[in-house]
Amino acid sequence: MMSEIVRSAARVLDLLEYFSDGETRTNLADIAQTFSLPKSSALGLLRTLCVRGYLEKDEQGLYQLNETFRIQGFSWGGARLTRLLTLARPVMTQMASELGETITLGVLTAEGKIRLVHQALSSQPIRYEMPMSTQLPIHCTAMGRMFLALKTPEERRALLARYPLSPWTKYTVTDSAQLEALIEEAAARNYSVSADEVDIGGTGVCTPILDASGAPLAMLNVSCVSARFGDKKNLIIKAVLEQGQQLADRLASGGAAV
């Protein structure tokens, strides 16, 4: 006979498979009926999957698969990242509106690259935009350099040794000493800037969002059209620093209601 623990695990897997197409959106009553469960049991399973970040519940009470988990699978970052995304999405949308530039949230992968997990697009007709499947280098992006700035010297060397310091554009910094100086500068001021080094015409400004232990969970980045950056530089830096710190504070205090 299947034990209750094994049965519960099987039901969790059944639910994940049920939502796995990424299109399914359904309510508690339908789940209870589909799986022949008491509503209280179905609610407990759904709440657990929401708290752990695998499912999301919208304002209409409909459950669906977490978008980042659907795209990235089990390398996505789990509940901590989901709580951050819950907080960050409206903040990023507001920043994009106020600054007139695209706002991105990125994480460091196990392979040592930057992976985008959310993007709030500028409404400007000319804007910076990247596919969500993009994985970016660490040596020439603002987000990558900021992650490097928060590593120990040994960790930094190990990450940089994984890939050559290849030029993505004619402006990409590939000199080790110059790159180290930029990383140290980012560490000192808590934000990093990369101009025209990945794509000519794009400037990134980012700051870290730290978890409760002080480790960087993600980077909040303003992806600005370079031609507009000069006039907005101080405003962008101020906004990204303030919002990055506020998100970290709210995350540490449990401000995300999942």
CATH class belonging to 4-65: mainly alpha
* Better-predicted residue by pLDDT, 131 or 165: 165
- Residue 101 clears pLDDT 80, i.e. is over it: yes
Residues of the chain with CATH 3.30.450.40: 74-252
* Alpha-carbon dihedral 167, 143, 122, 254, rounded to 10 degrees: 170
Q: Rounded to whole angstroms, how far apart are CA atoms 11 and 100?
A: 45
Class of domain 74-252: alpha beta
User: 221: closest CA among 119, 86, 130, 84?
Assistant: 119
Alpha helices in 141-206 (DSSP H): 142-149, 153-160, 176-189
| Amino acid in the structure at residue 164 | P
Q: What is the pLDDT of residues 115-127, one digit of tens each?
A: 998 999 999 999 9
Report whether pLDDT(174) > 90.
Answer: yes
Q: pLDDT value at position 76?
A: 47
Strand boundaries in the chain, DSSP class E? 55-57, 63-65, 102-108, 114-120, 135-136, 192-195, 202-210, 216-225
> Residues of 151-176 as b/e, b for ≥16 C-beta within 10 angstroms?
beeeebeebbeeeeeeebeeebbeee
Cα dihedral 210/212/215/217 (nearest 10): -50
pLDDT tens figures, 67-98: 666 655 544 445 677 778 888 989 999 999 99
Quick one: DSSP state of residue 169? S
256 pLDDT above the threshold of 50: no
CB 109 within 8 A of CB 147: no
d(Cα 149, Cα 182) in Å, to the nearest integer? 9
For residue 211, what pLDDT is reported?
A: 85
Least confident of 5-14, 22-31, 95-104, 235-244: 5-14
Distance CA 13, CA 29 (A): 19
Average pLDDT, the chain: 88
Better-predicted residue by pLDDT, 67 or 173? 173
Give this prediction's pTM. Answer: 0.71
Whether 28 has a pLDDT exceeding 90, the answer reads yes
Residue range 187-240, pLDDT digits in tens: 999 999 999 999 999 999 999 999 888 889 999 999 999 999 999 999 999 999
Residue that wins the pLDDT comparison between 65 and 197: 197
Listed in order, the ranges of the chain carrying CATH 1.10.10.10 are 4-65
Task: Answer yes or no: is pLDDT of 149 > 70.
Answer: yes
